[in-house]
Amino acid sequence: MTSETPPRTRPGDDPELAHRTLESMWRIRRFEEAVDDLFARGLMHGTMHLSIGQEGSATGACLRLRQDDAITSTHRGHGHCIAKGASLERMMAELLGKETGYCRGRGGSMHIADTATGNLGANGIVAGGIPIAAGAALAYQMQGLDRVVVSFFGDGATNEGAFHEALNLAAIWSLPVIFVCENNKYGMSFSTEHSIAIAHVAERAAAYGMPGETVDGNDVEAVDQAVSAAVDRARRGDGPTLVEAETYRWKGHSKSDKNLYRTREEIAQWRTRDPIVAFEEAVRSRGTLDDATLQGIRDEAVATIRDAAQAANAAPDARADDILSSVFAEVAR
Amino acid sequence: MTSETPPRTRPGDDPELAHRTLESMWRIRRFEEAVDDLFARGLMHGTMHLSIGQEGSATGACLRLRQDDAITSTHRGHGHCIAKGASLERMMAELLGKETGYCRGRGGSMHIADTATGNLGANGIVAGGIPIAAGAALAYQMQGLDRVVVSFFGDGATNEGAFHEALNLAAIWSLPVIFVCENNKYGMSFSTEHSIAIAHVAERAAAYGMPGETVDGNDVEAVDQAVSAAVDRARRGDGPTLVEAETYRWKGHSKSDKNLYRTREEIAQWRTRDPIVAFEEAVRSRGTLDDATLQGIRDEAVATIRDAAQAANAAPDARADDILSSVFAEVAR
Amino acid sequence: MTLTQHPHGAPTESPQTGATMRELTYSEAVREAMAQAMADDDRVFVLGEDVGVYGGAFGVTGDLYQRFGGERVRDTPISELGIVGAAVGAAVAGMRPIVEIQFSDFTCQAMDQIVNQAAKIHFMLGGELSVPMVLRTPLGSGTGAAAQHSQSLEAWFAHVPGLKVVMPATPADAKGLLLSAIDDPNPVIVLEHKLLYRQSGPVPEAAERVPLGQSVVRREGADLTIVATGVMVSRALEAAETLSAKGIEASVVDPRTLSPFDADPVLESVAHTGRALLIQEAPSHVGFMAEVSARIAESAALYRLLAPIRRLCGLDVPIPYAPALEKAVVPQVDSIVREAHDLVQGS
Amino acid sequence: MTLTQHPHGAPTESPQTGATMRELTYSEAVREAMAQAMADDDRVFVLGEDVGVYGGAFGVTGDLYQRFGGERVRDTPISELGIVGAAVGAAVAGMRPIVEIQFSDFTCQAMDQIVNQAAKIHFMLGGELSVPMVLRTPLGSGTGAAAQHSQSLEAWFAHVPGLKVVMPATPADAKGLLLSAIDDPNPVIVLEHKLLYRQSGPVPEAAERVPLGQSVVRREGADLTIVATGVMVSRALEAAETLSAKGIEASVVDPRTLSPFDADPVLESVAHTGRALLIQEAPSHVGFMAEVSARIAESAALYRLLAPIRRLCGLDVPIPYAPALEKAVVPQVDSIVREAHDLVQGS
Ligand SMILES: Cc1ncc(C[n+]2csc(CCOP(=O)(O)OP(=O)(O)O)c2C)c(N)n1
Ligand SMILES: Cc1ncc(C[n+]2csc(CCOP(=O)(O)OP(=O)(O)O)c2C)c(N)n1
Ligand SMILES: [Mg+2]
Ligand SMILES: [Mg+2]
């Protein structure tokens, strides 16, 4: 389907938007690289799911959201978190199991939420956040607010019953929610060529009577156009949309991945479609930002992540003493 | 979609087929009336879900199945059971909690299975039988058999995650299974106008890349044509189909239903579309069967059900003494 | 006797506050709690299958749809996982959802949202969010609905850190505990026994809370302590009367909240009587009464035991359909009397 | 001493049949069992997420895909409910599926097919059908995967009539119990602890079955009886060595099968030592060790107790992420030593 609203300024045509877009994408890239490095050096524990290569979909989908709009995220959620504006230091602190981390060291990489920026939480359960997003959208609708919810999930998640039930609920109640499927071609090792018998995940929208659209997830402007149109519809009360952003993860699924299920060539080919490089070229060629500014943004990202990592490192470790009292929220009334 | 195979003899054109079709529909009708009566008189316990008005879909879908083809059924399963050839006496005995019942009184109305006629079981869980049907079809495929599975379920069941996951599995593995949705317009009290945002359940087939077709479920010949075409495809190894049979239940959802969610007019209007009357008129007008034969079939149904009920009634009550040893199948090896 | 001084000793049947009482059925009491909470607080709403014009599978929501409208008494498709997930999302976004699941057996469909999401979000997210939702669902056998519609799964929920679990045994508790559950900023599972829905009893007119986490001593007797949950509470009390006629006096303790579990009234009663009979409808193996037994066996009350602890539970079988079989697999008044009698005479 | 005559006394580490033993890791032992079963019986096949070329989330299926092909080592979409349902259907239609669920936490997605279908079909259908399927899944904490990837839900499965539940603690049992599970005509849940996958031990080369429903005494000592499951068995044995150095001798009993549970070895040992310390990783409240405690407290062994029964279990909290916190919430060797020491000295 195509959006009913006239195309809005492309992020690459507006200096301020272009700046924010690149800043977000570079911060995600550098954050993930730092995490990768910390794991490689054995300084981080647990597991991790990096979104390097997927910076375009996270950034494009969150670019024009209001701070009071909400998102639900996934196990591969660092990018969503950063794109929505979370504190890099508190994120890094969480991954390092620090008391200053978003979850006070209780959740780690897969459970970061940030109420201040409307992040209702990453999720360790594939598709676990989708019904929660529908429910949050229901709350906003009942509260008479014009807030919307963007729910991120992967291609693999669309084979879970939770996806089906949540999209149906959102459709029949025309909830203000945008379902953003980051189709990176694999659910762990299982390719979409085998896991679904259709060409595009977006075709599943028809089963719920909701619009569905497939865009190039590595074209941050295409993602912005599709999601922004869906956001307008949702705010107007015209209900949910399924947006499929086709992208690719450069790294393995998690640290234990040996990449046996895909070829070096495939990975190399997708690396040539770097969403950041593509957008930098666009803004340069359009004369929106000059080389010096671009370099400045890159340098700032490196410095910000370095500072966040240092500050996080210096923070005290998570405390165990109040662990029993952390299970339940305190009864007010 | 339309079937690739040339339309086969219509059941109403062939005396033997027409006879079997009517016999099945009348037996279902009379069986359900007898059950309704036993409940009303307090002679039966638990609950019941009658399929009066839906005889066409059960009969049409099972009409040309082989005995070694399988079905999975639902809480509203008496019709499926009868259409596949189960013993009316053992069914009635089960509902009466007798030792001679299909489940030895352990299961009741919602749990009748009959391996002899390929009935893998009714199910008290909405959509519970759909993944099981896919699994049985997988078994036949792996065993190199050309058996197919017909999975019955209602419109409401298509909103369960189990429906979604099972249809996707069947599609990607092109399993020999036919998904027959008996869309009787309501899941308990909730109308399909509210529970789904699309016109036809069959549209959901597109989400799995499988053919979907909507037919008049009260036209037993239409159901036969659609299901038989799907069965041929499945046997050929061309995978699953979703067939939606539009029908209506004349009675309440269960004994506790006060019918507050629908109008008398709606019920009356659908009663004029009686699948049995319609088929009788067809075979009479086409001269396939004469009035005497038709009357004979009706009388036989009444007698058969009466005899089944009497025999069942005379049987011993279910025994409790071996209940503890009934939980597990005995270890052979 | 020490038990009478015990704070939990006060029978909840009589109003703490002297408020007016009326006879209500258990389901009327549940409905009244929901109605009063919805009238008090716009954030409270009900969602579930057929809770609207149908009035609920067991008629519990009744006329709430007519009184509060379809927005706040919301019919849903048959999608338990989606419904509970929607409630979790609505709760983190500021609402106070009450989900009705038609039969507790169908919580199996929603376990991920109940256990992996609702129960863990507050802890896992370091307190960043909480999930003030209530999940109401009927459990138990006795209606001839067979194995997939008759389970008692309270032990599962009680085993999950982050869930609070209540099992009201009287109309007054059905109302008071539900009101507390709705107030609570955490997910609370309310397990209502089908056979109780039609039982009536005195219920305060006012929106009186019964605090979560307080067991209650429903009857006092010196010879043995019976601990029972749900529908087994009234069966135990009935059995106690029969036993009394035979000169055996039983104390009957009703935990009411299974998690957090208030064990003290049980331990004090057992220390006093020296005999414990633990009764649940659920299958015996790894059920809630195993926990009650363990609490006794790791406490000082162990030294006061005059006989081994006894459990009288459902058989370790699925619930069968035929009436006689269905009755035979779960404790009944006569089997309780027999067991109590053996316990007291045998020691 | 009576225990040595006990049939369960024979340590499974040494082959009953004198068959050749090799050192294998726990995951190699699991894989070997599946390979031998598939080689023996065409009906046996494996399905699950990433069990194919990836070799399984924990590498357990490894090279089975290369050896048996994608038909019999079948990758599935991320659809736990559908996968288990497909296994149930395949089982009733004559196959012998082995389902792998990547983390036991995700059985929450499949509970309906496990509990309402697989566990009940044989009983509910009057024996008309049975469900010979195996569900293998890793449980437990210690990998920094946090609350949604670290649960120990064995108590849930053990509470469900119709399911058999095993928790192998050694490589030999991992192989032998899995082979018995595959033979069994009923649904069997096999709970493998992640931290055990890399532990090695002697495993018979032959396809030797370890019968379901037999507890084993792993160590004998006169001062106390430790009952432990899964990864806690090795921790208990390690603690027992430390205690031995302090002059305290512990018996260690490993139930191995949680349902049906063979309580006799526990009761006999406790009758002998007079002290019971029950250890599990799962949260304490309504966990499996509550059942073990209840079995002791309702048996004659109660009269032999020199001290109240003790449970050392996981705290009633979700599993946290940070390494120090994660360790702090479940029993470790030193806390076992401390608890055992207190128990023996304190009485
Ligand atoms: C319910 C559930 N099943 C399985 C897993 C294990 N798992 C974690 S991520 C993942 C792949 C998810 O694929 P997709 O949804 O495409 O997201 P991607 O990893 O590609 O971003 C799997 C199988 C899980 N966390 N939750
Ligand atoms: C998982 C589950 N949820 C809810 C129910 C209660 N219930 C039984 S039948 C039914 C309606 C089913 O509607 P549909 O699938 O359209 O079948 P129909 O009754 O119309 O034949 C409901 C809600 C159930 N048995 N199982
Ligand atoms: Mg993916
Ligand atoms: Mg229907």
pLDDT tens readout for residues C216-240: 999 999 999 999 999 999 999 999 9
Residue C2 φ/ψ, nearest 5 degrees: -65, -35
b vs e for A278-311, b when ≥16 Cβ sit within 10 Å of the residue's Cβ?
A: bbbebbbeeebbeeebbeebbeebeebbeebbeb
Distance from CA of B72 to the nearest CA of D (A): 10
The per-residue pLDDT for D3 is: 29
Cis peptide before D97 (omega within 30 of 0): no
Residue B57 contacts residue B247 (beta carbons within 8 Å)? yes
Task: Report CB contact under 8 Å: A161, B159.
Answer: no
Give the number of C-alpha atoms closer than 13 A to the C-alpha of residue C172, restricted to the C-beta side.
Answer: 19
**C143 close contact with B: CB closer than 8 A:** yes
Verify whether the Cβ–Cβ distance D294 to C289 is below 8 Å.
yes
Mean pLDDT (whole number) for D209-214:
98
D contact chains, 3+ CB pairs < 8 A = A, B, C
| pLDDT greater than 80 at residue B6 | no
Burial of residue B209 (CB within 10 Å: 0-12, 13-18, 19+) is middle
Tell me which residue has its CA closest to atom 13 in ligand 1. Answer: A187
Q: Residue A206 burial (CB < 10 Å; 0-12/13-18/19+)?
A: middle
pLDDT bucket at A331, cuts 50 / 70 / 90: confident
* Cross-chain Cβ contact B206/A198 below 8 Å: yes
**How far A39 CA lies from chain D's nearest CA (Å)?**
12
Residue of B nearest to D81 (CA): B162
Whole-number Å distance between alpha carbons of D2 and D304: 15
Report percent pLDDT > 90 for chain B: 95
| Residue A188 CB–ligand 1 contact under 6 Å | yes
Nearest CB partner across the interface for B318, out of C81, C148, C325: C325
Q: How far is CA D44 from the centre of its chain?
A: 21
If one residue of D47, D76, D78 were mutated to test the ligand 1 pocket, choosing by the most ligand atoms within 8 A of its CB, it would be: D78
pLDDT at C19: 76
Question: Out of B107, B139, B165, whose CB is closest to D126?
Answer: B107
Nearest to D160 by CA among D85, D87, D90, D260: D260
User: In the predicted model, is pLDDT for residue C2 greater than 60?
Assistant: no
Task: Return residues 63-92 of C near A (CB < 8 Å).
Answer: 71-72, 76-77, 79, 81-92
Q: Report the relative pairing of strands C44-48 and C21-25 from DSSP bridges.
A: unpaired
Q: Find out whether the beta carbon of A75 lies less than 6 Å from any atom of ligand 1.
A: yes
Name the residues of C annotated as catalytic. 149
Q: What angle do CA B172, B177, B179 make, to 5 degrees?
A: 100
The model's pLDDT over A211-258, given as tens digits with 9 standing for 90+, comes to: 999 999 999 999 999 999 999 999 999 999 999 999 999 999 998 899
- Residue A255: exposed, middle, or buried by beta-carbon count in 10 A (0-12, 13-18, 19+)? middle
Nearest CA to ligand 1 atom 7: A126
Cα–Cα distance measured from residue D211 to residue D176, given in angstroms and rounded to the nearest whole number: 8
The C-alpha of A330 sits at a distance from chain C's nearest C-alpha, in angstroms, of 7
Q: How near does any CA of chain B get to the CA of C149, in Å? A: 8
Q: Report cis status (omega within 30 of 0) of the bond before D260.
A: yes
Q: Inform me whether the C-beta atom of residue D146 falls under 8 Å from chain A C-beta atoms.
A: yes
Name, in order, each residue with C-beta under 8 angstroms of C113's C-beta and a sequence gap of 6 or more.
Answer: A128, A131, A132, A162, C81, C84, C85, C87, C88
Residue D88 CA to residue B135 CA, distance in Å, equals 7
Name the average pLDDT for chain A: 96
Query: Measured between CB atoms, which of C120, C258, C316 is closest to D318?
Result: C120
**Who lines ligand 2 at CB under 6 A?**
B 49, 75-76, 124-126, 153-157, 184, 186-188, 253; C 49, 78, 80, 102, 106, 109
- Per-residue confidence at D18, pLDDT binned at 50, 70, 90? low
Tokens of B172: 């990607």
Query: What is the best residue among B188, B249, B255, B262 to mutate for testing ligand 2's pocket, by most ligand atoms within 8 Å of CB?
Result: B188
Q: Do D298 and C318 touch (CB under 8 A)?
A: no
CA C253, CA C9: separation in Å to the nearest integer? 9
HSE, CB side, 13 Å, CA atoms: give it for residue D268. Answer: 18
Contact A323 D325 (CB under 8 A): yes
Q: Is the pLDDT score of D12 beyond 60? A: no
- pLDDT greater than 60 at residue A203: yes
Question: A207 CB near a chain B CB, below 8 Å?
Answer: yes
Give the residue whose CA is nearest to atom 20 of ligand 2: B187
Kind of pairing between the strands at B190-191 and B186-187: antiparallel
Predicted ipTM of the assembly: 0.97
Name residue D264's amino acid: D
The answer to whether the beta carbons of residues C112 and A97 sit under 8 Å apart is no
Is the predicted pLDDT of residue B4 greater than 70, yes or no?
Answer: no
Question: CA–CA separation, D344 vs D347, rounded Å?
Answer: 6
- Element containing residue C74 per DSSP (H, E): strand C73-75
Q: Does A47 touch chain D (CB under 8 A)?
A: yes
Is residue C17 pLDDT above 80, yes or no? Answer: no
3-state secondary structure of C15: coil
Is residue A137 within 8 Å of residue A170, measured between CB atoms? yes
CB contact under 8 A, C52 and B189: yes
Q: What is the pLDDT of residue C228?
A: 99
Beta-sheet strands, E only, within chain A: 70-72, 149-154, 177-183, 186-187, 190-191, 212-216, 241-246
* A97 in contact with C, Cβ within 8 Å: no
Radius of gyration of chain B (CA): 19
Instruction: List the chains bordering chain A where 3 or more Cβ pairs fall under 8 Å.
Output: B, C, D
| Through-space distance between the first and last CA atoms of chain A, rounded to whole angstroms | 49
Would you say C47 and C86 are in contact if contact means Cβ atoms under 8 Å apart?
yes
Give percent above pLDDT 70 in chain A: 98
Helices of type H across D93-140: 107-111, 119-124
Q: Among residues A125, A136, A126, A197, which one has the least CA distance to residue A170?
A: A136
Question: A240 CB less than 6 Å from ligand 1?
Answer: no
Rg value, chain C, Cα: 20
The DSSP code for B119 is B
CA-nearest residue to B257 within chain C is C54
Rounded to 5 degrees, φ, ψ at A44 are -125, 150
For ligand 1, what atom is nearest to the CA of residue A124?
A: 25
Using an 8 Å CB-CB cutoff, list chain C residues near A123.
Answer: 117
Provide the pLDDT for residue B7. Answer: 65
Ligand number nearest CA of A76 is 1
A117 within 8 A of A84, measured Cβ to Cβ: yes
Angle at D235 between CA D234 and CA D236, to 5 degrees: 90
| Mean per-residue pLDDT, A34-44 | 95
CA distances from B238 to B4, B230, C342 (A): 11, 9, 66
Residue identified by tokens 């749900």 is: C230
Residue D79 has phi, psi (to 5 degrees) of -155, 65
CA nearest to B127 within chain C:
C78
pLDDT at D19: 76
CB contact D316 to A (< 8 Å): yes
Which residues pair with residue A153 across a beta bridge?
Answer: A181
The neighbouring-strand residues paired with D136 are D100, D190
Cβ–Cβ of A189/D109 closer than 8 Å? Answer: no
- The backbone region for A85, taken as left when phi is positive above 0, alpha when psi lies in -120 to 50, beta otherwise, is left
Q: Mind listing the pLDDT tens digit for each residue in B277-332?
A: 999 999 999 999 999 999 999 999 999 999 999 999 999 999 999 999 999 999 87
Q: Quick one: pLDDT at residue C3?
A: 29
D75: β partners: D48
From the CA of A154, the nearest ligand is 1
Least confident segment among B193-207, C88-102, D11-25, D110-124: D11-25
- In this prediction, residue C16 carries a pLDDT of 58
CA distance C21 to D185: 56
Put simply, whether B132 touches C (Cβ < 8 Å) is no
pLDDT score at B332: 75
Write out the two tokens for A112. 């970061």
Chain A residues within 8 A of D105 when measuring between CB atoms:
125
Which DSSP state fits D118? I
Report CB contact under 8 Å: D124, C111: no
Helical spans, DSSP H, in chain C:
2-5, 26-40, 64-72, 80-92, 107-111, 119-124, 154-158, 171-183, 231-245, 264-273, 288-297, 323-328, 333-345
**pLDDT score for D2:** 28
CA D50/CA A187 separation, integer angstroms: 9
C-alpha A188 – ligand 3 centre gap (Å):
7
Measured CA to CA, the distance from residue D156 to residue C319 in angstroms comes to 17
Question: CB distance from B61 to chain A under 8 Å?
Answer: no
Does residue D16 sit at the A interface (CB-CB below 8 Å)? no
The alpha carbon of residue D137 is apart from the nearest alpha carbon of chain C, in Å, by: 16
Of D53, D77, D328, the CB nearest to A195: D77
Distance from CA of A65 to the nearest CA of C (A): 17
CB atoms within 5 A of ion ligand 4 belong to B 154-155, 184, 187
pLDDT-derived band at C293, boundaries 50, 70, 90: very high
CB crowding D194-211: b at 16 or more within 10 Å, else e: bbbbebebbbbeebbbbe
Q: Using CA coordinates, name the residue in chain B closest to C107.
A: B125
Under a CB-based contact definition with an 8 Å cutoff, are residues C68 and C106 in contact? Answer: no
Nearest to B171 among A164, A171, A197 (CB): A197
pLDDT band at D51 (very low <50, low <70, confident <90, very high): very high
* C-alpha to C-alpha distance for A282 and A289, rounded to whole angstroms: 9
User: Which residue of D112, D146, D160 is in closest CB contact with C109?
Assistant: D112
